[in-house]
Amino acid sequence: MLLTSIALAALLVGCEAKIGARKLSYQKIYKFTPKTQVTDHAAIDLDQQEIETLLTDQYLWSAAQAVYENGAHSKSYAEVTLSTPLTTTMAADVEISGVALDGTTVNGKIMEEAASGSSVIKVQYATSDKQEKYVGCQVGGSSEPVTTGCFADTGSLSMSGTTLDYTAVANKNARTIRGFSTNDARHRVESNPDQAYYKDMQMFVDYYGSSDYADKWIMAALANGSTGYSGLGETNFSTLDDTGRKEAVVKGTVFLAIFMYVIRELEDAIDDCVVQCDADTCNDDPVHALDEAVAFYTGSLHLTEGSDGNLLFSLAEKRCENFLTCENGEAAVNNRLFVLFNRMQNLLQQGKCEEAATVVSDITNIMYVPMIQGAFRYAYKSGEQDDQTPKSEAEGATFAAAVLPKVHKCNAADAQLIYDNMKVGNTEPVDWPAVKSAFERNYRCMGITCADVGGQSDGELYFEGAGPCSSSFMTYVGLALGLAAASLIAFF
């Protein structure tokens, strides 16, 4: 009986470690309560904040690139050089502790297995459930690192009664905005034997020619060069000044790189739900993936600063004011998304994978709405308000880049019209009515409505010729396209 109890206790401990020690309640992310700890994930917006700061006024391109490539605030870890090599293999996830620069104890876990004979181990710093103090070591590529919670430069680490002396520490980050775009394998369906791309990523690969299109965009803007796409959408930033290049970078990091990674996490949740593991843990991986998606969508700043932040959540809040799509002072897009996030969470906990997959499709369709609103905003500025500044040009081009592959899948000619008008380097004012119609003709195919997008306004009234389309317009267009496809000569 005692042996059985011990075995059961060990099993429970193992399960708890495997599922991330889920507790009853974590800090809410807007109107969503995660079931797992994702404070570290939400902090990716601090990388975005630092990049924006570095490119404001001084245009510190190299410093901004260092944060983009190396991270600073999310998934912090120490690369520790040991005094003597390991004599046995060290398993991943083993808890370990050391002394910080300020003399306090720092906890962490072995990030990846280290083989016997290794002289270097990677230790991920432990994170807190509270966003305002989620981790005390934030270094990576930061120009203003936080080191008080990092391991001392030399010292010893303790684990399970064993002491490991070390001679050097390099503090890095395993989660970066660049990695969201460059890790091709993360955007492929794990449960598919052919390892096909997830649906939305496939559209972007088909259009741009590769899965790292966001990184190509951002790096080209940082270097004042060209994207070098093998497909469509080629962009040369050399015609822009610093204000324009900055917008291409800071809009690209969120609306190209992070945007697609949010979708990736949603799809991964379905993957995990389908694959499952065992009866005790089958719901944890998919639920955690959903929690990550919501954290990456929203960020941490709304919790620590009381602001809307700087990620996708923030864009929806800003655009609802411009397009009169707010509900009781909040973006209708965000309200709908968080209803769907909660519905998806409930379905995943019940193991209803197919139903949850339908919700993912609804979520991703809605996520494109603020991108279209952004493209509309700058198309209108150029075409109707005579604003052809490099800043507006870059913003419009980036918003368009975030949605062109979806339009292209629906209608290649309309996507080309939008690209020709809104690409960087177009020296003519945008043909606003043509761009507006090109988007609107494809709403039905894109899974959105005229009411979702709204119309360009001054915050109270729609600008002339910029109001929302109507459902009758969409019906007319749908009929026209259907009849054209059937090669009919006339229609009503």
Within-domain flag for 487? yes
Q: What CATH number does residue 151 fall under?
A: 2.40.30
List, in order, residues 6 or more apart from 293 with CB less than 8 Å away.
262, 263, 265, 266, 269, 341
Within-domain flag for 192? yes
Last residue of a domain, one of 128, 159, 174: 174
Q: 219 and 165 share a domain?
A: no
> How many C-alpha atoms does 267 have within 13 Å on its Cβ side?
22
Within-domain flag for 196? yes
pLDDT value, residue 486:
42
Q: 152 and 246 share a domain?
A: no
Q: 182 and 127 share a domain?
A: no
Q: Which domain holds residue 158?
A: 75-174
Q: 487 and 377 share a domain?
A: yes
pLDDT value, residue 275:
86
Compute the distance between CA of residue 463 and CA of residue 376 in angstroms, rounded to an integer. 12
Q: 158 and 249 share a domain?
A: no
Within-domain flag for 403? yes
Residue 367 DSSP one-character state: H
How many CB atoms lie under 10 A from the CB of residue 279? 7
Within-domain flag for 286? yes
List, in order, residues 6 or more apart from 230 with CB less than 8 Å away.
208, 209, 210
Q: 87 and 214 share a domain?
A: no
How many CB atoms lie under 10 A from the CB of residue 244? 21
- Name which of 202, 210, 203 is nearest 227 in CA terms: 210
Compute the distance between CA of residue 130 and CA of residue 27 in angstroms, rounded to an integer. 7
- Determine what percent of the chain falls in helix, strand and coil, rounding each to the nearest 5: 50, 10, 35
Residue 352 DSSP one-character state: -
Chunked into runs of 10 residues, the chain (492 residues) has average pLDDT values of 33 35 77 97 98 96 99 99 97 97 96 98 98 97 97 96 96 99 94 87 98 99 98 98 98 99 98 73 82 98 88 98 97 98 97 96 99 98 96 98 99 99 96 98 98 97 96 49 40 34
Question: 294-317 burial string, b = 16+ CB within 10 Å, else e?
Answer: bbbbbbbbbbbeeebbbbbbbbbb
Within-domain flag for 11? no
What's the chain's Rg over C-alpha atoms? 24
Last residue of a domain, one of 145, 174, 203: 174
Last residue of a domain, one of 139, 155, 174: 174
pLDDT value, residue 490:
39
Q: 154 and 262 share a domain?
A: no
pLDDT value, residue 19:
34
Q: Which residue is associated with the tokens 């459930």?
A: 129
- Name which of 291, 293, 313, 289 is nearest 301 in CA terms: 313
List, in order, residues 6 or more apart from 176 with CB less than 8 Å away.
47, 68, 69, 70, 71, 74, 140
Compute the distance between CA of residue 236 and CA of residue 430 in angstroms, rounded to an integer. 18
- Name which of 177, 151, 150 is nearest 71 in CA terms: 177
Q: Of how many residues is the chain composed?
A: 492
Within-domain flag for 353? yes
The answer to whether 310 and 45 have CB atoms below 8 angstroms apart is yes
Q: 114 and 238 share a domain?
A: no
- Name which of 195, 180, 203, 125 is nearest 157 in CA terms: 125
The count of domains in the chain is 2
Q: 204 and 118 share a domain?
A: no
Helix H or strand E segment including 327? strand 326-327
pLDDT value, residue 156:
98
Give the phi and the psi of residue 121 in degrees, each rounded to 5.
Answer: -125, 155
Q: Which residue is associated with the tokens 């996490």?
A: 265
pLDDT value, residue 24:
60
E-state strands within 114-161: 120-125, 155-159
pLDDT value, residue 341:
99
- Name which of 231, 262, 278 is nearest 409 in CA terms: 231
Question: 59-89 burial string, b = 16+ CB within 10 Å, else e?
Answer: ebbebbbbbbbbbbbbbbbbebebeeebeee
pLDDT value, residue 14:
36
Within-domain flag for 35? no
Q: 247 and 389 share a domain?
A: yes
The tokens for 189 are: 């369906």
Q: Which residue is associated with the tokens 């004042």?
A: 224
- Name which of 29, 33, 57 is nearest 43 in CA terms: 29
The answer to whether 192 and 168 have CB atoms below 8 angstroms apart is no
Compute the distance between CA of residue 456 and CA of residue 65 in angstroms, rounded to an integer. 34
Q: 204 and 344 share a domain?
A: yes
Q: 158 and 181 share a domain?
A: no
| Cα dihedral: 173, 59, 261, 238 (round 10) | -130
